Amino acid sequence: MSTLDLFADLPEPAAPQPAGGDRARYAQLLQTLAHHAQLYYVQDAPELPDAEYDALYRELEALEAAHPDWVQPDSPTQRVIGAVLDGFASVRHAAPMLSIKTETDTEASGAQAFDARMRRELELDIHAPALEYMAEPKFDGLAMSLRYENGLLVQAATRGDGETGEDVTANIKTIRQIPLRLVGEAPAVLEVRGEVYMARADFEALNERQRARIAAGEKNEKTFVNPRNAAAGAVRQLDSRIAAQRPLSFYAYGLGEFVAADGRSEVATFGTQRGLLQAIKAWGLPVCDLAQTVQGAAGLVAFHVSVAQQRDSLPFDIDGVVYKVNSLALQKQLGFVSREPRWAVAHKYPAQEMLTTVLGIDVQVGRTGKLTPVAKLAPVFVGGVTVSNATLHNEDEARRKDVRVGDTVIVRRAGDVIPEVVGVLLDKRPAGTQIFTMPTHCPVCGSAAEREADEADSRCTGGITCAAQLQGAIAHFASRRAMDVEGLGDKLIEQLVSQKKVAALPDIYHLDLATLAGLERMAEKSAQNLLDALEKSKHSSLARFIYSLGIRHVGETTAKDLARHFGSLDALQAADEAALLQVPDVGPVVAASLAHFFADAKHQAVVQALQAAGITWAEELGEADVPKPLAGKTLVLTGTLPNLSRDAAQALIEAAGGKVAGSVSKKTYAVVAGAEAGSKLAKAQELGILILDEAGLHHLLQK
């Protein structure tokens, strides 16, 4: 039976079963958990995301609590999981490397439950002061013990089975964060417990190098699924020269064996968990700055929430936080249970990675025409929500990850980030799968899908005629710097498109009062105001109309240049690429985009329909005929003019051949200053630059 078959046969943890079924279920859980523990802790090749493993572990704990006589010596609840690998010398830990109990309630109640448990254990009544805790991030790395004798690093060992680990001293010495000799006066013996991990940026860089090696034909190379897997693999390299090439990091968080030079105990030496971390840091070992002391349940909850908000932006992976009673004396008093400290708990966050199956790969078309391959998944709960779709970003990314229909994949969702496929379990790939290929035509409108040489994305060339792009096209067309249709916002556009009131861009000019008033949050007055705004927008300028069409690479400034240069829409539509290249600042990419747009019969039909709806503008003068009193001159606007808006003043200056800059310099020709002019006016006075009011600007333009 395969691993996945075994897991698939397991019923949901909450499903009630008869006693006989419970006993069989218990045996099956032992087998399954042992198998996955071997894969995760020993082979560094996990097949199950953490959340699924934790769910099985919790079910096992529940069965053992109900039937304590069933508990087997080899149950994962009875020992710290792991084993020593062949090839490394064995190290028996002077002080066992124990596991920490996991609080699986990911909400605030998990922290409150731990505080309540500590107060009960210490027999504190409701009037006793709040307990002080040390709260730390729970790193997703590889547990490590560093042994220093008289300040010198003599041994580094993995957790192993908690009693015996692997001697990986040579590899750990390659981590530059770890001092070979402690700073200052050191104890006779100091065993520092901590985590070896790989930062996210280092992990991405490592995988990039691995992909380059694979592309170059180097054998036995592979990319890594996640930073934890990569870090564990680096630590367990038998050749330390290879380990040295892997970018590892380390954080210290605890204590193993300790022998002070003066014979004092750790309680007398450090006093608290915070005191311990401060001493470790003073000896030259890295300690995470996120760790902090907090008071009572409220402090634990606040820490859990705060770190959760930072989780996605941290430079390393964590899967929760750890709470420890701060007082070392109280830690001694609380002691241990089932090889776990009573005084500490790991409080998990919702899993960010889960395992599922790819049911299909669709291609979605965005508002800008971008084609995005999306994996359709068997629904899976990850990152706090049920996920059934995950982005593959673009053709290159889909090919690099080689995601195929039928694959078993790891899906990741971090915070509000769109779910994505992290990697494929190639050994689970069924026979006959097909490599994904991006379509050559838009799946919505059938227009050609093109990808420029220097871009990763393919785009539909349908533009304003593509139904998938319609909502974005209308929003751009109605924007303030385009046709300026006041009141036609995103939510209203979404209603019009989703209810099929508008099927093409020109349809907005055929809306009536009854249709608009019947929409959500639209009364008759609002509907009439929108109709008035649509009517007003019909009387615009050629530059605004060109810009409103949303032609790729054509911004507001280019639209103005085109209107000034050609003077009419007919002349612009008739221009070939050679003629378009004569326009200032229009290069080959923009010229090709314009020529392609106006050569498309569907685009021509939309433009004609818009004109037929009543859109007009005064014909622009040809480039050679336009007076240019400000040609080559740069002006700056500051303050509030009495009659002209900032946009209107800028339009007048640009129409006269001038340019408007945002700051004053020696190259500035004049500053147009209105009421409440500030530092720009002062700078102009300092430089002796011409200063104009609104009347002065009009006089200058009339020249």
Contact status, residue 330 vs residue 119, Cβ threshold 8 Å: no
Report pLDDT for 239: 79
**DSSP-assigned beta bridge partners for residue 362:** 374
Confidence of residue 143 (pLDDT cuts 50, 70, 90): very high
The stretches of 147-253 forming alpha helices (DSSP H) are 169-172, 200-215, 227-235, 240-244
Residue type, 222: K
Q: Residue 251's pLDDT is what?
A: 94
Alpha carbons within 13 angstroms on the beta-carbon side of residue 246 total 27
Crossing angle of helices 200-215 and 227-235, in 10° steps, is 80
**Please, where in the chain does CATH 3.30.470.30 lie?**
102-348
Q: Residue 373 has what pLDDT?
A: 94
Say if strands 634-638 and 659-661 run parallel, antiparallel, or are unpaired.
parallel
Rounded Cα distance, 202 and 200, in Å? 5
Cα–Cα distance between 378 and 355 in angstroms, integer? Answer: 10
Residue of 245 and 302 predicted with greater confidence: 302
- Token duo for residue 590: 């923009």
- Amino acid letter at 547? Y
Q: What is the pLDDT of residue 38?
A: 61
Tokens of 375: 């994996």
For position 528, what pLDDT does the model report?
95
Q: Is the pLDDT of residue 125 over 60?
A: yes
Residue 1 has pLDDT above 50, yes or no: no
Architecture of domain 102-348: 2-Layer Sandwich (3.30)
101-109 LR contacts (CB < 8 Å, sep 24+): 101/340, 101/341, 101/344, 101/345, 101/346, 102/54, 102/320, 102/345, 102/346, 102/348, 103/345, 103/346, 103/347, 103/348, 104/54, 104/58, 104/348, 106/347, 106/348, 106/349, 106/350, 108/301, 108/304, 108/305
Read off the amino acid at residue 624.
Answer: A
Decide if 653 contacts 557 (C-beta within 8 A). Answer: no
Point out the least confidently predicted range of 252-266, 371-385, 428-442. Answer: 371-385
- Distance (Å) of CA 39 to CA 197, 203, 258, 353, 652: 18, 21, 33, 17, 71
Question: Is residue 258 within 8 Å of 210, Cβ to Cβ?
Answer: no
Neighbours of 647 (CB within 10 A): 12
Please say if the pLDDT value at position 457 is more than 70: yes
Question: Is pLDDT at 42 greater than 50 in this prediction?
Answer: no
User: Which residues in the chain are classed under CATH 1.10.287.610?
Assistant: 3-78
pLDDT of 224 over the 60 cut: yes
pLDDT value at 273 more than 90: yes
Q: Candidates 2.40.50.140, 3.40.50.720, 1.50.40.10, 3.40.50.300; correct CATH number of 353-428?
A: 2.40.50.140
401 is catalytic: no
- Please give the mean pLDDT across all residues of the chain: 87
28/10 Cα distance (integer angstroms): 8
Element (H, E) at 636: strand 634-638
Q: Which pLDDT score, from 0 to 100, does residue 622 have?
A: 47
User: Is residue 417 very low, low, confident or very high in pLDDT (cuts 50, 70, 90)?
Assistant: low
Q: Does the pLDDT of residue 84 top 60, yes or no?
A: no
* DSSP tag of 567: -
Q: Tell me the C-alpha to C-alpha distance, in Å, between residue 521 and each of 23, 403, 496, 527, 534.
A: 60, 44, 13, 10, 19
pLDDT over threshold 50, residue 602: yes
Q: With bands split at pLDDT 50, 70 and 90, how would you rate the model's confidence at 106? A: low
- What's the CA angle centered on 390, arms 389 and 394, to 5 degrees? 130
Q: Which ranges in the chain are annotated with CATH 3.40.50.10190?
A: 634-702
Q: What is the C-alpha separation between 323 and 485, in angstroms, rounded?
A: 56
Distance, CA of 546 to CA of 537 (rounded, Å): 14
Choose the CATH number for 463-617 among 3.40.50.970, 1.20.1250.20, 1.10.150.20, 1.10.260.40.
1.10.150.20
What is the predicted pLDDT for the residue at 43? Answer: 56
Model confidence at 5: pLDDT above 70: no
Per-residue pLDDT band for 78 (boundaries 50, 70, 90) equals low
Average pLDDT of 366-392?
A: 88
The pLDDT score that the predictor gives to residue 238 is: 81
Going by C-alpha positions, the residue among 700, 638, 690, 701 that lies closest to residue 666 is 690
Residue 623 has pLDDT above 50, yes or no: no
Share of the chain above pLDDT 70, in %: 92
**Cα dihedral: 237, 239, 245, 249 (round 10):** 50
Percentage of the chain surpassing pLDDT 90?
51
Q: What is the mean pLDDT of residues 204-229?
A: 83
Residue 44 has a pLDDT of 57
Predicted local confidence at residue 415, as pLDDT: 60
**Model pLDDT for residues 504-525, shown as the tens digit of each residue:** 999 999 999 999 999 988 989 9
Given a cut of 50, is residue 6 above it in pLDDT? Answer: no
Residue 307 has pLDDT above 60, yes or no: yes
Q: Which residue has the tokens 């109605």?
A: 478
pLDDT at 552: 86
pLDDT at residue 629 in the model? 84
User: How far is 185 from 662, CA to CA, in rounded Å?
Assistant: 60
CATH 2.40.50.140 residue ranges of the chain are 353-428
Q: What pLDDT sits at residue 328?
A: 97
- The DSSP line for 49-70 is -HHHHHHHHHHHHHHHHH-GGG
Q: Which long-range contacts (CB under 8 A, 24 or more apart) does 214-218 make?
A: none
pLDDT band (50, 70, 90) for residue 464: confident
Q: Which of 101, 138, 428, 703 is catalytic?
A: 138
Q: Compute the distance between CA of residue 445 and CA of residue 450 in angstroms, rounded to an integer.
A: 14
One-letter amino acid at 579 equals A
CATH superfamily of 3-78: Helix hairpin bin (1.10.287.610)
Higher pLDDT: 215 or 166? It is 166
Is 240's pLDDT higher than 50?
A: yes
Measured distance CA(586)–CA(554) in Å, rounded: 9
CA-wise closest residue to 528 among 537, 540, 516: 516
**Range(s) for CATH 1.10.150.20 in the chain?**
463-617
How many CB atoms within 10 Å of residue 660?
16
With a cut of 80, say whether residue 74 has pLDDT above it. Answer: no
Q: DSSP string covering 482-542, please?
A: TT--TT--HHHHHHHHHTTS-SSGGGGGG--HHHHHTSTT--HHHHHHHHHHHHHHTEE-H
What is the reported pLDDT for 389?
92
CA distance 407 to 425: 7
Strand, coil or helix: 602: helix
Tens of pLDDT, residue by residue over 324-360, are 999 999 999 999 887 789 999 999 887 778 899 999 9
Q: How far is CA 398 from CA 87, 109, 364, 421, 435, in A?
A: 38, 40, 14, 9, 9
H or E element that contains 616: strand 616-617
Does domain 634-702 sit in CATH 1.10.3130.10?
no
**Helices 470-478 and 490-498 meet at what angle, rounded to 10?**
140
pLDDT (0 to 100) of residue 86: 60
Structure tokens at 102: 């996991």
pLDDT category of residue 626 using cuts at 50, 70 and 90: low
Q: Nearest to residue 272, comparing CAs of 256, 293, 302?
A: 293
Looking at the predicted structure, is the pLDDT value of residue 243 above 60? yes
Which pLDDT belongs to residue 223?
80
The DSSP secondary-structure symbol of 207 reads H
Name all contacts of 595-600 with Cβ < 8 Å and 24+ positions apart: 596/461, 597/463, 597/549, 597/551, 597/552, 598/572, 598/573, 600/461, 600/463, 600/465
pLDDT of residue 397 exceeding 90, the answer is no
Query: What is the mean predicted confidence (pLDDT) over 415-430?
Result: 83
Identify the three-state secondary structure at position 239: coil
- Residue 7 in this model has a pLDDT that exceeds 80: no
